[in-house]
Amino acid sequence: MPSEIGVVGAGAWGTALAKLLADKGQEITLWCHGDESFRDIAENRENRAYLPAIALPATIKATQSIRETVLGKRLIVIALPSHVVREVLTDAATTIDRRTMILCGTKGLEEETAKTMGALLLDLFGSGAQAYLAFLSGPTFAVEVARELPAAVTVAAFDLVVAKSIQELLSTQSFRVYTSADVIGVQMGGVIKNVIAIAAGISDGLSLGQNARAALITRGLAEMTRLAVRMGADPLTLAGLPGLGDLILTCAGDLSRNRAVGLQIARGKQLNEITTATRTIAEGVRNTRTVCLLAERLQVDMPIVEQMAQVLYGGKEPASAVRDLMLRSLKAEAG
């Protein structure tokens, strides 16, 4: 029998996941914040604002009622920008059955508190919800998932039974799902890679070459691993799909929003000009300061992240940030 699933967030990622699940015969309720997307999906079976030219199954029901989206569902998928997760879900928290599985596909930290999405959700739903929480991450562009091009991701959960249940619900011939118990590693890989991707975009925009991009990816992975491990992650997780895999895609892929921000900064555009020109959200822009704050709090050295914070919010010239990274004191690579 089909499962009733609620997807909270009708951006590109939420719509792609809703389509994937609906194509498997599941009944989907998709929460839309904006009137435009709601009408487009309901009337035209398409989300032209975020996934143009992708036909959506009739089994996806668009709604603007968060209560309708979450009430009585077997699984709820969260696909919201990180800065609105608390606001959107606060009112829904009392409506969600405590045995409902919750899959968080948001890659970000809460700006004000530097909390992971997992910690934020436990704030909202209580510690008893931990057994039903899961986190989705890996190298994916939403449009490619919607077009059924091959992709692989990781689902991490506190309870392996929950991870396996979601693995079965999501897996298709073109979408391979692995399980993990490392909820911190899976979450943090998806956060930090966005910041490093902005640096990679700046490097490419300054025509610094492929050597520089490879160095940024590699040293970015070192920074990502240091912070995640300090928070309790398994370093092997960061060497897998949620870490290295997602980092490579976001730093090198032409569809990467965060890399695109870096490219435009390198060409002289101001950050507010870049962010107001598009409806899609580059999580790395919002999370750069938050990751920097978290690194300082945990006393973790993250020079690339620090330089990106200075470029985005301190008025530093991109070329100067590159120079300062190259002229740091010499050290062993493992340090």
Examine the fold and report which residue of 160, 181, 202 is the final residue of a domain before the chain moves on: 181
In this prediction, residues 184-204 reach a mean pLDDT of 97
**Both structure tokens of 141:** 């562009």
Supply the CATH number for residue 169's domain: 3.40.50.720
pTM of the model: 0.95
Asked if 171 and 51 sit in the same domain, the reply is yes
Q: How far is CA 310 from CA 121, 129, 284, 316, 320, in A?
A: 30, 38, 14, 6, 10
Residue 332 resides in a domain: no
Instruction: Yes or no: say if 288 and 309 are a contact pair by the CB < 8 Å rule.
Output: yes
Give, for 291, the enclosing helix (H) or strand (E). helix 283-298
Averaged over 233-249, what is the pLDDT? 98
- Mean pLDDT, to the nearest integer, of 230-243? 98
Whether 100 is in a domain gets the answer: yes
Which residue is catalytic, options 73, 107, 193, 331?
Answer: 193
Among residues 181, 209, 224, the one where a domain terminates is 181
Q: Tell me the C-alpha distance between 149 and 307, whole Å.
A: 35
Has residue 220 got a pLDDT over 90? yes
- Identify whether 269 is a catalytic site residue: no
pLDDT of residue 166: 98
CATH number, domain with residue 319: 1.10.1040.10
Share of the chain above pLDDT 90, in %: 88
Domain identity same for 176 and 197? no
In angstroms, rounded to a whole number, what is the distance separating the alpha carbons of residues 125 and 279?
A: 30
For residues 225 and 91, which has the higher predicted lDDT (pLDDT)?
225
Whether residue 149 is predicted with pLDDT greater than 80 in this model: the reply is: yes
Statement: residue 1 has pLDDT above 60: no
pLDDT per residue as tens digits for the range 89-130: 998 888 998 889 999 999 999 999 999 999 999 999 999 999
Number of domains present in the structure of the chain: 2
Kindly state the DSSP code that residue 19 receives in the 8-state scheme.
H
253-290 confidence digits (pLDDT tens): 999 999 999 999 999 999 888 888 776 777 889 899 99
pLDDT digits (tens, 9 = 90+) for 30-80: 999 989 999 999 999 999 999 999 999 999 999 999 999 999 999 999 999
- For residue 213, the enclosing domain spans 191-326
Residue 331 covered by a domain: no
Q: What number is the average pLDDT over the span 158-171?
A: 98
